[in-house]
Amino acid sequence: MVSSRIRDVSGIAQMTIRTGAWRTWGRCRKVLVFSVLLSAAPVLASMPGMPMLSLAEQRFETRGVVIAPRQVVLSSEINARVTRLPFRAGETFNKDDRLLTFDCRVLEAQRDKVRAERNAASQTVKSNRKMAKLRKVGKLELAISEAELAQARAGVRIAELAVERCRLAAPFDGRVVRTMVRENEGVGERQELLEIVDDAVREMEVIVPATWLTWIEKGTPLTAFIDETGLEVSGEVIVPGAVVDPASQSMTLRVRLDTDSGQLVPGMSATVLFTVADTVP
């Protein structure tokens, strides 16, 4: 655990920030998370490339982590063998691209079988309707044939849905994080296949003292300094914290970053600065 104490230029206000706690972020990756104590005193220490503040402004400093708005693990819905896996870890794809294909010859044969049964049931109904008009077939026999046709149509729909699961399509534009299977490998139902992430990264989670709720709101501007690249990015609060952590008396903000540079990667850390009017308590 590392703690640092920073004083403003008057030597009166001070703020303590503790960092060092780690927690699991998503699955199989770790990011730095920390507690910011109750004190909401402004931090006026300068950073490289940072303009000096006027006496009518205060600077509040905390930490944040770049996140992916959409990051999911895709699982198998059938028992089958993988025949094609065109994308590897780190490669990009577009929405509706085929990420994985199964060997589904058995399911396709079952689909063709129920389609033939549906066609036969449809012909039976047509014949019974004509015969019913001539009073050569009773109403009960006609009703039974129509029910069998409805059942055959439902069977076709089930078979078609099963075949659709043989091809795993991308739900959004993104990038492959990792693959958990290989081509020609047999997989079971609910087995994890691929982890993918939306690579249009423009969001960050920021932890702040709960006392900052008195002035932080949706649209509050900020500046983020990315640790790994030194990139300076402006942004704004999307959603203030929904709940307060009773242990640290802190909350998490979701922030939108104003950048299309492509230099942001989920998991990057940043120093986040809020510069506000001196009227803030």
* 151 and 270 together in one domain: no
The domain spanning residue 86 has which CATH number? 2.40.50.100
* 74 and 190 together in one domain: yes
* 140 and 81 together in one domain: no
* 62 and 39 together in one domain: yes
Q: pLDDT tens track of the chain, all 281 residues? A: 333 333 333 332 333 333 333 333 443 333 333 334 333 344 433 444 444 444 456 888 999 999 888 889 999 988 999 999 999 988 999 999 999 999 999 999 999 999 999 999 999 999 989 888 888 888 888 899 999 999 999 999 999 999 988 889 999 988 999 999 999 999 988 899 999 998 777 889 999 998 888 888 888 999 999 998 888 999 999 888 778 888 888 988 999 988 766 778 888 999 999 987 665 55
* 137 and 56 together in one domain: no
The distance of Cα 159 from the centroid of its chain, to the nearest Å, equals 30
20-40 pLDDT per residue, tens: 333 334 433 333 333 343 333
* 193 and 140 together in one domain: no
Q: Which of 165, 182, 212 is the last residue of a domain?
A: 165
Q: Give the largest CA-CA distance in the chain.
A: 105
Question: Which residue segment(s) compose the domain that 123 sits in?
Answer: 105-165
* 97 and 53 together in one domain: no
pLDDT of residue 134: 82
* 89 and 175 together in one domain: yes
* 93 and 205 together in one domain: no
Record the pTM: 0.61
**Residue 26 token pair:** 């998503």
* 192 and 214 together in one domain: no
The total domain count for the chain is 3
Q: Which of 198, 219, 244 is the last residue of a domain?
A: 198
pLDDT of residue 213: 85
